[in-house]
Amino acid sequence: MRKLFFICAALAALLSCSTTAVAVEPVVKTGIEVLRDREFEGLKGKRVGLVTNPSGVDRYLNSTVDILYNAPGVELVALYGPEHGVRGDVYAGGHVTDTKDEATGLPVYSIYGSTRKPTPEMLEGIDVMVYDIQDVGVRSYTFISTLGLVMEACGEKGIEVMVLDRPNPLGGNKIEGCYVEPGYFSFVSQYEIPYVYGLTVGELAVMINEEGMNRGQKGNQAPAHCKLTVIPMEGWTRDMLYEDTALPWVLPSPNIPFKETPMYYAAAGVCGELYGFMNIGIGYTLPFQVFGATWLDPEKLKSRLESYSLPGVSFRTIYFKPFSGSQKGQLVKGLQYFFTDYESARITETQFYVMQAVAELYPDKKAFEIISGYGLFDKVCGTDYVRTEFQKRYDFTDIKDYWRKDEEAFRELSQRYYIY
């Protein structure tokens, strides 16, 4: 028995040593983790405001709110709630209201309600404004618009902005879509950048600050500038998708539940603004990852899309009943799609080919002829040209060059602001 004890003890010690030996550093450290490693340099002795939501966490899922609130020498005095709120308790499009954070007792000011830009009163007594929200790399995703308005307001008050950087889940090389045209700047298209822009939120912040792109929600104001600091990540490279980072994915908004969802948001989100045309999985378990309708023959649609030989994307038929929304409980028939070769796939163009295939198979179901409005579609596209040209023949080749026209110029411009 004594001999068995020593054998077990030796094995336990060996396993312990082995575990210690193979322990590795995190693949990627986010800005909040780097800031903590630097002992909150730049924040000590200052009164701090924080713009964040549930995605603002470290790798152990500790909230940036709690990290800064408990940081020695840092006085966190106010929180600012973007779309969905600081704690993520407001659904898409719902107004966020001023309140008090239950965990810390701090005031929470709404910047997605009666105002989307912090007022001077909201900023009273703030020395540094920290921003920590997981981005998705798509122009229409409104948190980057909130960032610009925060930078504008802080610049007017002489308040420094500190952006805690996070990965772009689409990677740092994917750039797709045209610039926003004058007259089409809005909260869902606030900057003159492509629809998919291939920058981290920190890189984007520096670019809009330096290039004079921060011109208000309508794009018609004098360029706003602020004192800006970016706390970079460690370990992130441009060829990484989110799954390569070894970081947990915390949904930044209700319909972006998985780390893969951002690429499908880019691929279906524009089409999703055509309410009444296609069910894109909102109200089901696969948001943005399906195209379906109650009247559709999925096999025919699959065959037609496969005839286009689209690079890097594959389709399968799917039948489902949404559990919320206008088609709740109805049988929706359609396709689920997968990016099998992400690098070669033109992800944003998938939705236009779906619209083309539907028009060819169902002439009475053409997208712009069965919907009630297309204003938000134009805003998300950043132009009405995409719609007006495409609806003439429902052939993507008619708009392909326009959709792609700004990509290389932006790639050249944006490389000046690469941190990684």
Which domains are present in the chain? 26-251+406-420 (3.40.50.12170), 261-383 (3.90.1150.140)
For the stretch 205-230, pLDDT in tens is 999 999 999 999 999 999 999 999 99
pTM above 0.85, yes or no: yes
Question: What value does the mean pLDDT take over residues 275-281?
Answer: 95
Place of tokens 């949404």: 322
Query: Which pLDDT score, from 0 to 100, does residue 17 have?
Result: 40
Please give the share of the chain, as a percent, with pLDDT higher than 90.
87
For the stretch 123-151, pLDDT in tens is 999 999 999 999 999 999 999 999 999 99
Residue 259 makes CB contacts below 8 A (sequence gap 6+) with 169, 241, 242, 243, 249
Per residue in 212-251, is it b (16+ CB within 10 Å) or e — as a string?
A: ebbbbbebeeeebebebbbbbbbbbeeebbbebbebebbb
pLDDT value at 371 more than 60: yes
For the stretch 227-249, pLDDT in tens is 999 999 999 999 999 999 999 99
- Mean of the per-residue pLDDT values of the chain: 92
Please, what is the angle between helix 350-361 and helix 298-307, to 10°? 120
Task: Return d(Cα 270, Cα 263) in angstroms, integer.
Answer: 12
